[in-house]
Amino acid sequence: VAQATVKLYANIPNATVSSTTLTDGSGVTSVTFPNPAIFDIKATYGTKSGTGIIQLDIGQTNNATVIVR
């Protein structure tokens, strides 16, 4: 879905790490983090939403598909 809001977030002791982006015309977004991590994903478009999880590794491209319903 184009122009969906995508939030990656991780609640860790004493902090919350997050990033919010919009998808492009193809429904894709990209985020770069300097350290490996596991993030929850929440994508929203209007009243529709979807969730997922992704593990990011150093030096690798990791992909996740979230279905927005």
pLDDT tens for each residue of 26-44: 999 999 888 888 999 999 9
User: Measured between alpha carbons, how far is residue 33 from residues 11, 40, 49, 58 in Å?
Assistant: 15, 14, 24, 8
Confidence of residue 13 (pLDDT cuts 50, 70, 90): confident
Least Cα distance to 37 among 24, 53, 51 occurs for 53
- Quick count: other Cβ atoms within 10 Å of Cβ 26? 8
Q: In angstroms, how far is CA 39 from the centroid of its own chain?
A: 7
The pLDDT of residue 11 is 84
Asked if the model's pLDDT at residue 16 lies above 90, the reply is no
Question: pTM (2 decimals)?
Answer: 0.90
User: Measured between alpha carbons, how far is residue 7 from residues 10, 18, 64 in Å?
Assistant: 10, 7, 13
